[in-house]
Homo-oligomer: A and B are copies of this chain.
Amino acid sequence: MKQYLRSSVLVIGGAEDKVHGKEILQRFWHCAGGTDAIIAIIPSASREPTIIGDRYVSIFSEMGAKDLKVLDVRDRIQGEDKDYQEYVEKCTAIFMTGGDQLRLCGLLADTPLMERIRQRVKLGEVTLGGTSAGAAVMGHHMIAGGSSGESPNRALVDMAMGLGIIPEVIVDQHFHNRNRMARLLSALSNHPERLGIGIDEDTCAVFQKDEYIEVIGKGTVTIVDGQAMSYTNHGKVAAEDPLALHNLRLHILGHGDRYNRKTHQPMAGIVE
């Protein structure tokens, strides 16, 4: 069931294995072309972009990537940098690291660099990967922060605009690890037409064009589908009041499981 499609978008829940089997990063490298891979690394979510950028350079370099470059954008003006733009034209893949998703969007949203990346991803010409903050930015609506340990309520989650790579999803990462179900539900209450996707650490939802999501890695991908939601009190209660949401569909997907984005149906993978 392994498909190394160039057009894959790898949405990673953070803390992916960088030392042992490296299943997720290996998949990214394979999609990117393996020994022909030309990979741009964007560490802009992080306040330590040099360290984190170099870390991924080492990993993909050891795997045998053909060429690598860190697009170390620390100022929006660099979103017009000619060198960076040229690299985005010739690369086969782009990887966005973890850090702060608001920082990442603040630096890159609507820059020529990001617009071209989005276009090439949409055309299926390049592989895109993002982990943690780099995963959070994938949707049109983005969870910027929030809390846990409360009944779902609007004040439990901070929303912002994402990069809109896969507009219809609202991604949450480190999902079960940081007990984020209540905040994802809180986010969805205002956008039930979006698909809520919670990705555990060292776990990846591989988006393949408009068709399937495939799960790889160690944990689960949680899908909360509000398509058939019959009721929410979202617009009627105060921000701290508990939210009601009726008739959601919930899928916990494990390794190898798939989800059909058109039919909204999950399919079981083969347990090896």
Which residues of A are interface residues toward B (Cβ below 8 A)?
148-152, 176-179, 181-182, 185, 200, 203, 218-220, 224, 230-231, 233, 236-237, 241-255, 257, 266, 268, 271
19 extra A-B contacts, CB within 8 A, seeds A151-B203, A231-B266, A249-B250: A149-B176, A150-B176, A152-B252, A179-B181, A179-B182, A181-B182, A185-B252, A218-B242, A219-B242, A220-B244, A233-B268, A233-B271, A242-B252, A244-B253, A244-B254, A245-B251, A246-B251, A247-B266, A248-B252
Residue of B248, B253, B254 near A251 (CB, 8 A) is: B248
Contact A220 B151 (CB under 8 A): yes
Contact A266 B149 (CB under 8 A): no
Q: Name A156's closest neighbour in chain B (CB-CB).
A: B176
Q: How far is the CA of A231 from the CA of B259 in the complex (A)?
A: 13
Q: How far is the CA of A79 from the CA of B216 in the complex (A)?
A: 53
Residue of B151, B230, B250 near A224 (CB, 8 A) is: B250
Provide the residues of chain B in CB contact with A177, threshold 8 Å: 149-151
How many chain copies does the complex carry?
2
Residue of B152, B179, B182, B266 near A246 (CB, 8 A) is: B266
Provide the residues of chain B in CB contact with A248, threshold 8 Å: 249-252
Instruction: Please indicate which of the listed interface residues A220, A230, A242 has the most CB atoms of chain B within 10 Å of its own CB.
Output: A242
Residue of B148, B152, B247 near A179 (CB, 8 A) is: B148
Q: How far is the CA of A148 from the CA of B231 in the complex (A)?
A: 29
Contact A250 B252 (CB under 8 A): no
Q: How far is the CA of A247 from the CA of B237 in the complex (A)?
A: 29
Going nearest first, the 3 A-B pairs with the smallest beta carbon separation are A179-B179, A244-B254, A151-B219
